[in-house]
Structure 1
Amino acid sequence: MKLYFEGPVIIVALIIYIVLLLYLKFKLNKGLMYLFFFSVFYLYITQVVRYTQFPITYIPEMYDPLSVLRHNINLVPFQNLEINLKFMFLNVLLTIPFGFLLPLIAQITMRKVLLWAFLLPLIIEATQLIVGISTGYRHRIFDINDFIMNGLGVLIGFIILKASIKVMFKIFDQSHINQNKLLNYIAKR
C-alpha cells in the first residue's frame, strides 16, 4: 500500500491552511502582505513534506522495523561523495526558501536562524526515520549529509534575503520603498 501526497492528504493540508489563514487574519489581525508571505511559506512547506516524506509505503509482509534501523541510518558525513554530490546540492536547494521566507513571517535573529538550520533538517530526517520504522519500509533514510546540506540551505536562504534587502536599499531611495507595500514590508525585515 502506498500513500501519495494527493487526494485526501491535499484536502487535509488545504483545511489546515484555511484554518491557519482565518486565525491569522481575524484573531491576530495580520495584514495582506503577511498573509501573502505566509501563504507562500505554507505552500513551500507542503512541497517539502511532499518531496521528503511521500510516498509512504507499507507492505505488511515486509514489515521489519529492526532492518530499517540497521540499514536506514547514515551517520558518516561525506561518505561516497561522488555519488551524493547531486543529492547534496538538491538538499541545499530544498531548504534555501525556508531561510529566505521564514524572516518574512516571523521575527528572526541570526541565533534563531542557526536554531532553525538545526531543527528543520532534524525534523525532516527524523520523520523519515520514524515513518520508515513505523512502516518497515526502507525507502528513506536518516542521512547526516542531508542533515548538513539542509542546514546549510537554511543559512544560505537567510543570507540571500539579507543581501537582497541591502541591494534593495541601494537601488531604491527610501521614499520609493515607503510607497511600495511589498518593498516596505520586506525592508522592515
Structure 2
Amino acid sequence: MIIDMSRELFCILFFVISVIGYIFYKKRNATIQYWIIPVFVIYLLYLLKVTLFPIFIFDQETLEKVKEGVENYLVFYQLKPFASIVNYFREGAMIQLIGNVILLSPLVVFGEIVTRGKWRITRMILLVSSVSLLIELLQLVINYSTGYPYRVADVDDLILNVTGVIITMLVLRAAKKAVSRKEESCLKIRALLYKE
C-alpha cells in the first residue's frame, strides 16, 4: 500500500486548514492580511508532501521481496555530518543541496511577517530549526514503522535547513533596513502585508 497526498486530499486539507485559519484569524483580530494564511497553508502542505510522502507500507512477504538483494544497502538514517553534502557535490546533485537550503525559507518569511520582525534572529532560528529536526525525526519514525526507508533521516538535511534559515534571516533583515530608508516603498509593503 502506498499512502500519498493526492490532489483531492491536498484540496480537502487546503480547504479545511484555510477555514480553520480564517476562524482563528477573525477571532484573534489578526493584524496581517488574510491572503497570507492560504498561501502559508499551500506551503505547509507542499512541505509535508516533499518531506514525508509517499509512505510505502508493505505486508511482510512483499517487504521481504523488496529487500531481497538490497537489504545491506537500505539506509534508515545518516548521522555522519557533511557526508551527504560531499556526496551531493561529487554527484552534481545541486538541486538536492539547494532544495534543502531553501526548504524552510518560506517558514522564516511567514514568521517574520507574523511577528513583524520583532523576534531576535536566534529565536527564529531555534523555532525553524526545531521544525527541521521534527521532519527528520518523523522520517526516521516512518522508516522504522514501515520497515522501508523511502526518505532517509539525514543530519546533513538538518545542517542545510539551518544554513538556509540563517541566510534567509540575514537577507530579510538587510532588505528591511534597505526598504525602511525609502518611506514610500515601506508603506506599500506594509499595506500589502498588514491591516492598519
Normalization by structure 1: what TM-score? 0.80
The corresponding residue for 1:88 is 97
Check whether the contact 1:24–1:35 (CA below 8 A) recurs between aligned residues: yes
Runs of at least 5 residues in structure 2 that lack an aligned partner in the other structure: 65-70
Read off the aligned partner of 1:166 and give its amino acid letter. K
Are 1:73 and 2:72 an aligned pair?
no
Q: Tell me the residue number matched to 2:28.
A: 28
- Tell me how far apart the structure 2 counterparts of residues 185 and 8 of structure 1 sit (CA, whole Å): 31
The answer (yes or no) to whether the contact 1:5–1:55 under 8 Å persists in 2 is yes
Equivalent pair of 2:179/2:185 in contact (CA under 8 Å): no
Q: How does 1:175-186 map to 2 (within 5 A)?
A: 177-178=186-187, 180=188, 182-183=189-190
Identity %: 23
Shift of 1:17: 2.4
State the 1:120 CA deviation. 1.6
Q: 1:103 aligns with which of 105, 108, 112?
A: 112
Contact 2:84 2:156 in 1 (8 A): no
Uncovered stretches (5+) of structure 1, i.e. residues with no partner: none
TM-score normalized by the length of structure 2: 0.78
Query: Structure 2 vs 1, CA of residues 37 and 45 (structure 1 numbering), >3 Å: closer, same or farther?
Result: same
Indicate if the aligned counterparts of 1:117 and 1:152 stay in contact, CA closer than 8 A. no
Deviations 1:137-176, CA, capped at 9 Å, x for gaps? 2111110000110111122222222121112123x22x66
Give the RMSD, CA atoms, in angstroms.
2.6
Q: What is the one-letter code of the residue matched to 2:44?
A: I
Closer/same/farther in 2, CA of residues 176 and 53 from structure 1, 3 Å limit: closer
Equivalent of residue 152 in structure 2, options 141, 146, 171: 141
Q: Deviations over 1:68-108 (max 9, x none)?
A: xx831111011154432422222002122222221112353
Q: Distance in 1 between matches of 2:85 and 2:15?
A: 39
Any residues of structure 2 matched to 1:158-177 within 5 Å, and which?
158-170=169-181, 172-173=182-183, 177=186
1:16 positional shift: 2.1
DSSP-derived class of the 1:35 partner = coil
Rounded Cα–Cα distance in structure 2 between residues aligned with 1:74 and 1:54: 19
Name the structure with the higher helix share: 1
Question: Aligned letter for 1:79?
Answer: A
Q: Distance in 1 between matches of 2:17 and 2:29?
A: 18
Aligned match of 1:113: 124
